[in-house]
Structure 1
Amino acid sequence: MKRNMLILLLLLSCHCLGYAQQLVSGTVTDGRHPIAGANVFVKGTTDGCLTDSLGHFSFSTLKADSAQLMVTCIGYDNTERDWQKGQGPLDIRLYERTTTIDEVVVTGSTFQFGQANGLKQLGALDVVLDGGSCGDIVAALQSLPGTQKVGEDGKLYVRGGSSEECQTYINGMHVLQPYSTTAPNSPSRGRFSPFLFKGIAFSLGGYDAEYGQALSSVLPMETTDASVSDKLGVSASLIDWNIGGTKTTRQGCWSMNATYMDLGLYSRLFPDRWTWHKPYRQLSFETQWKTQPTPSSVWKSYLGFDRTTLSLNTDGRTLSLEENNLYLNSVAKGSAKGHITWFAGLAGGMVWQDISDALLHGDRYCHRTGELHVKTKASKTLSTWMKGTIGMESFFRYQWLDYRLHDRLHSSKSYLLPALFAMTQYKLFKGCFAEASLRAEYSSLSRHCTLLPRLLLNYNPARHWLLSLSAGSYTQEPADTILARSLAPSRSSLAHHYIAGLQYSHGNTLVRIESYYKRYSRLPLLHQGRYTADGYGASRGFDLFIDDRSLMPNLTTMLSYSYNDSHRRYLNDLTEQQPPYVSRHNLRLALKYGIGIFSLGLTESFASGRKSERRTTPYYNSLDASVTCLASKRVIVYASLSNLLGRKNIYGYRGGKPITNGSDRFLYIGIFVSLKSNKAYDIANF
């Protein structure tokens, strides 16, 4: 009897459950085509599902008589729909969201990382996990199309431009020296940890009038916001040791980070081609203060200092180097009534460098350079289709050079570079946005004022497509070593950019192709021992970029290819020719695959030969690998090895001898531990 009663109760329960559950089904479209991936659910419950590739949805709900459905999808306005018991399949139409000018960032040839300009793609951990980056921002950015592989110094070379033509900005303010100093023919690293930033917007050209003194590209990076909890962490590797943390208060948060790097142990374990007298050593310190004076404003201040020393035998001389690098950055920004946003910033940098046996045995080279950068700007939304920005900035620069061998060559210069800029963003029509800007720069060196017009255009012809066009003029003062030997007054170099791009983005796939043309004039050219502004050149080519995460679960594939045809008469060139740092073809394939707590990275890099001393170098090839283990919420173990195949890459020739790295491979093993945080390696997450 008990058994029969139990069976009866179960049958009744199933019957009641089946009776209570109601089927909701239908189709979501935009009026013409089905919409896949739309979220359809009953308000106030978890009942719902996503539409399939044909826009269909079907799910059960416990609502007995009626319910209110919510339908959401990126790019469309949210829609509510009433549903009644027994109702047949629903036909729901979504309307494309009307984008206001405040929600739009008109950009040219720009790649977004982190949360730069409100877009989220790659974060700091993605930079660290890149197979060939070894945790370096600069090395990770070289995976993007348009960059050149120049392994003897590791700096950013973009679309036929030299490394000096790419300028770095932190929170909108210029960085005087963004790279660390290294031994000869050794790749340098970026001075800043990727964990310092929440957003990176790397522009390969066509940037707006806010940025000046950059002929080829700009790298704007935005530091993280104020922390809401205390942090403390340490890390250790074969080459460096680090400690840092954050203390929060009611007024804001204060952070610090200290690192000591010493290649002495690494050189003994893995000897290279150099004979070291003093190993490469660097002591660096960073501190930040962040506060929110009012609910609508933010103030960030950053101070960083590092000291680098090394001594080694090279080309029959003993090169000894000492360098000190100081950087200060303080910015405030906020919003005011009337749809107004404002920004004010101050940044300063100083570099002291002393080198013995720099070029020849017995010589001494001393270089002191400094910069003060001030900027202010304000933006106002004038209507739903128009936004305006005005600003002003000024660079004050000082340089002192002293070279002694048998005689003394001495140079000292200081100059001002004030500028005014204005930008206007327009919504021309649905899906089409433009930005027209004008920059006026004055150089106290040449006593000339230059007008630099720029135009950017973004057009979405369809939901997944983006067409971008940009054109503009850009100027930049020559480097200190060139200014020291220039005929006065010397005009600044000038470049004109013309870029067209097409992007397709759907789901987990992004395809992007761009073509460009750059024309140079007033480049420094050596004439009878002095530099003039008579150099010229041009650079043209196209870039292809594919980022796909749909081939298989947990696999990210990134492919980039660049073609560049660059010629210029520049520095000591007697005729127009291909610059020695340019490779016509650059190809890179990066794979990242996650298996549980492990992440595997594999990167294959290829570059065609470069011109050097009337010869062409062999092609460049490097297969790099990395393994990351998230041992716990607070511990990361990371290892990477560059150039797995041990290929001896040649970057050029000097006096008939090949230029190569001090070591064909580089092994990095590090452990990152957070002592007071739930996030792994949060010590430098300022």
Structure 2
Amino acid sequence: MKTFSLRLLLLSFTFIFISASSQIKISGKVSYKNRGIPQVNITLKGTYDGTTSDSEGNFSFETSEKGNHILQFSHPKYIDTEKSLIIENKNIELSVDMKEQISEIDAVVITAGSIEASDRNRATALLSPLDIYTTAGADGQISSALNYLPGVQKVGETEGLFIRGGTGSEAKIFMDGNLINNYFSNSVPGIAGRDRFNTSLFKGNIFSSGGYSALYGQALSGALMLESVDLPDQSSYDFGVAPILLNASFQRVNDEKTHSYGASAGYSNLKLMQEVFNFNTNFHEPPSGFNGDANFRIKTKSGGFLKYYGMFSTDVMGVKMPSLEPDYEHSLINLKGKNTFHTLSYRQKFGRYLLNLGTSYTFNRSDLRFATENQSVKSDETRVLNDGNYLNFKAVLERKINRISAVRGGFELNHAQEELSVQDINKNYSDLISSAFVETDLGFSNRFSAKIGARGEYSSFLRAANFAPRAALAYRLAKDWTTSLAYGIFYQNPESRYVNSPAKLGFQQSQHYIFQLQGNVEGRSLRFEAFYKNYDDLIKVQNVANIPGQYQPVQTAVNNNGNGFAKGVEFFFRDKKTFENIDYWVSYSFLDSKRDFLNYPMTLKPSFASEHTVAVVAKRFFPKLKFGTNLSFNYAKGRPYYDIVSNKGENIIRNEGSLKDFSSLNLSFNYLPNLGKKDAKAFTIFVLSVSNVLGRNNVYGYNFSSSGNFRSAVVPPVNTFVFVGMFISFGVDKTQDAVNNNL
């Protein structure tokens, strides 16, 4: 028995030795572009043998398998790779090159010149609707909130987005891809119009301060692309009450969430606030207006989506100003305006294809009446009546090539019909701009991508065509750092208000060159951007009529001999991480710009361009107190001003100088009494906002008498403005959304 046990033990050791001696070592290195890949799972297919690569991509394991086998390599960021092996009695050493897995999440995004706020790009999300509502000094307006981003100048005396040395008319605004004509309300000279559109109508936006997509045109400086909301989550009823406004709205959605419809109405009047505050502007008829809108949204059985939105608004205002002329005591300006806007859009997927169709119609009337008053005797009125009808249609077809590559193309039609009557000038202006465009997104890897496109346009009024190539590149330098380059040529028709003669005119042109460096790390984002813009074929004008009380004479375009440039650097930093419950951002812009255009007698620094601008925004939310505080500060170095008149057929500068520096400190507070109530079906927010808390006397420019010996400052209607309001939503509790977006 003892002998048998000894033999059995000897036999076991012999078997173990033979088995060990038959183990084959398989080793090697896994790489991507000559760099080792860590954490690659390596498995001999059909067995339990395998290992994981180390920090340098090296691997090693042993197996007793023999014959033909397949070695598998897998990693979430790389395409699975297989290698065929013949395992005999020799160790195996091999090198494997893997290919990067192209992913929409990991792929680098081209962001030169643009800032996106949407669900698709949360990493750099800026200025969501709640961002805009809770930014002190923005007054709930998208255009005002953009003044706290780099590249946008605050020009308080007129409406528009003044981007990187461009005029307000050189930036265009789009809704669901369609051009919005008359985005701002009608206004009188020296007082900027407000946004016509409710901020909550939009779920996101892309703001481009240059180098924007070939899908958009007719803008020399920049573009704001707004994306309207889709189906609401629940039915709701909303009410807003404030000393200057009343509004109410509702949204109904069916149980299956396949369609919804809604409407809203509102009325605003500044009379009560004028009684309370010391206004700089004498409104003999306080600004007031009515607005109403309606919408429906339908999700089709085939997966398509149809959206309609329509609105109507009115504008009424009367201003009385001291006269600079000896012949009369006051200048009187009265405004009556109305606007209607309708847009219909449809999108549908067909396999790898996506079709987007959209159309919009706008009618706008601006009825201005100018008069003078002397010893309470009013002169005859001079009427400036402008009616505009605008029709737009756009079609875009896109095909996916892979997860991050696509090609899209389409066409666009923009028709404008305007009638202008002023003094002895009667003008009928009509133009059809036909456009075609193509663009491709090329994802070469998760580190490198490109966007290449071109746009062509034909104007029936100018009887001319243009071709505008555009390109952008992006490269990931490190995990959280990317760099982008963008170039593009952009064309724009002369503004119709200057087209008052048979002069032969052509397109205005600009070229953009943009470099950007951007980093995003756990709630912090940093952007640095440098740009250069060159302008050619800008419009030159001459004076043809003077209207008492109007800041600018009626002007007419004479040629396209204008030119200019704008260059600068911008810095933006946002931090939601460092301080608990605090979100803040800082932006700085340096701008060097000069132009010879309009009635400028020579190349000058534009009167709307400030050399240095700074903005700081900070938001703090106190969850236990259900209370939020918001602070903003903006500063701009004083802009130049010019008193340009015509002398013997030549324009000369009669007076010039620099305005004092602009600055404004703004505060706002909001209280959310619903916080903490479980299963609440209502949401209430109380808002208190104070603009220009310190009451600084900011000046936007000067008006000069006909002799040039007297001047008056163009100032805000009121130095410090206080807004108090209560907003209630029934049927849906938005409290947690408000809290999450403030943290």
TM-score (norm 1): 0.83
Partner letter of residue 433 of structure 2?
Answer: L
Residue correspondence of structure 1 range 185-204 to structure 2 within 5 A: 185-204=190-209
Q: 1:391 aligns with which of 373, 385, 410?
A: 410
Q: Equivalents in 2 of 1:305, 1:323: separation in Å? A: 11
How far the C-alpha of 1:100 sits from its partner, in A, is 5.3
Kept in 2, the 8 Å contact 1:116–1:199? The answer is no
Q: 1:284 aligns with which of 287, 291, 313?
A: 291
Partner letter of residue 211 of structure 1?
Answer: Y
Further displaced range: 272-281 or 440-449: 272-281
Q: Equivalents in 1 of 2:108, 2:480: separation in Å? A: 16
Kept in 2, the 8 Å contact 1:364–1:403? The answer is yes
Q: 2:344 aligns with which of 330, 336, 350?
A: 330
Partner letter of residue 326 of structure 1?
Answer: T
Which aligned segments of 4 or more residues in structure 1 are displaced greater than 6 angstroms? 30-35, 101-104
Kept in 1, the 8 Å contact 2:108–2:448? The answer is no
* 1:299 counterpart SS class: strand
Residue correspondence of structure 1 range 70-469 to structure 2 within 5 A: 98-99=102-103, 106-115=110-119, 120-249=125-254, 252-314=259-321, 315=323, 316-337=330-351, 339-357=352-370, 362-383=381-402, 386-404=405-423, 408-469=424-485
The share of aligned pairs that are identical, in percent, is: 26
* 1:650 counterpart SS class: coil
Q: Which residue of 1 aligns with 2:581?
A: 554
Partner letter of residue 667 of structure 1?
Answer: V
Kept in 2, the 8 Å contact 1:345–1:375? The answer is yes
Q: Which residue of 2 aligns with 1:490?
A: 505
Kept in 1, the 8 Å contact 2:569–2:590? The answer is yes
Quick one: structure 1 residues 78 and 521, their matched pair in 2 at CA, closer, same or farther if it must change by over 3 Å? Answer: closer
Kept in 2, the 8 Å contact 1:155–1:189? The answer is no
Quick one: structure 1 residues 359 and 219, their matched pair in 2 at CA, closer, same or farther if it must change by over 3 Å? Answer: farther
Residue correspondence of structure 1 range 490-529 to structure 2 within 5 A: 490-527=505-542, 529=544
Further displaced range: 245-254 or 582-591: 245-254
Kept in 1, the 8 Å contact 2:118–2:203? The answer is yes
Residue correspondence of structure 1 range 583-598 to structure 2 within 5 A: 583-596=610-623, 597-598=626-627
* 1:657 counterpart SS class: strand
Kept in 2, the 8 Å contact 1:277–1:313? The answer is yes
Quick one: structure 1 residues 108 and 473, their matched pair in 2 at CA, closer, same or farther if it must change by over 3 Å? Answer: same
* 1:357 counterpart SS class: strand
How far the C-alpha of 1:180 sits from its partner, in A, is 2.0
Q: Equivalents in 1 of 2:283, 2:290: separation in Å? A: 19
Q: Equivalents in 1 of 2:78, 2:289: separation in Å? A: 54
* 1:192 counterpart SS class: coil
Partner letter of residue 632 of structure 2?
Answer: T
Partner letter of residue 664 of structure 1?
Answer: N
Q: Which residue of 1 aligns with 2:606?
A: 579
Larger radius of gyration: 2
* 1:632 counterpart SS class: coil
| 1:351-394 Cα deviation digits (max 9, x unpaired) | 01111117996211000112111010111123456421110011
| 1:484-506 Cα deviation digits (max 9, x unpaired) | x2443311211111111000111
How far the C-alpha of 1:95 sits from its partner, in A, is 11
Q: Equivalents in 1 of 2:286, 2:147: separation in Å? A: 27
Q: Equivalents in 2 of 1:78, 1:450: separation in Å? A: 44
Kept in 2, the 8 Å contact 1:673–1:681? The answer is no
Does residue 619 of structure 1 match 2:661? yes
Q: Which residue of 1 aligns with 2:17?
A: none
How far the C-alpha of 1:233 sits from its partner, in A, is 1.3
Further displaced range: 118-127 or 248-257: 118-127
Kept in 2, the 8 Å contact 1:600–1:625? The answer is yes
Kept in 2, the 8 Å contact 1:635–1:674? The answer is yes
Kept in 1, the 8 Å contact 2:108–2:482? The answer is no
Partner letter of residue 280 of structure 1?
Answer: P
Q: Equivalents in 2 of 1:341, 1:581: separation in Å? A: 41
Q: Equivalents in 2 of 1:654, 1:357: separation in Å? A: 16
Quick one: structure 1 residues 135 and 516, their matched pair in 2 at CA, closer, same or farther if it must change by over 3 Å? Answer: same
Q: Which runs of 5+ in 2 are unaligned?
A: 1-31, 40-74, 81-97, 324-329, 374-378, 545-555, 643-655, 676-682, 705-710, 738-743
* 1:460 counterpart SS class: strand
Q: 1:635 aligns with which of 681, 684, 705?
A: 684
Q: Equivalents in 2 of 1:143, 1:528: separation in Å? A: 36
Quick one: structure 1 residues 678 and 411, their matched pair in 2 at CA, closer, same or farther if it must change by over 3 Å? Answer: same
| 1:382-423 Cα deviation digits (max 9, x unpaired) | 34564211100111111111002xxx1111011110011001
Kept in 2, the 8 Å contact 1:145–1:561? The answer is yes
Q: Equivalents in 2 of 1:102, 1:541: separation in Å? A: 31
* 2:169 counterpart SS class: helix
Q: Equivalents in 1 of 2:629, 2:515: separation in Å? A: 35
Q: Equivalents in 2 of 1:556, 1:153: separation in Å? A: 31
Partner letter of residue 150 of structure 1?
Answer: V
TM-score (norm 2): 0.76
Quick one: structure 1 residues 270 and 482, their matched pair in 2 at CA, closer, same or farther if it must change by over 3 Å? Answer: same
Further displaced range: 508-517 or 307-316: 307-316
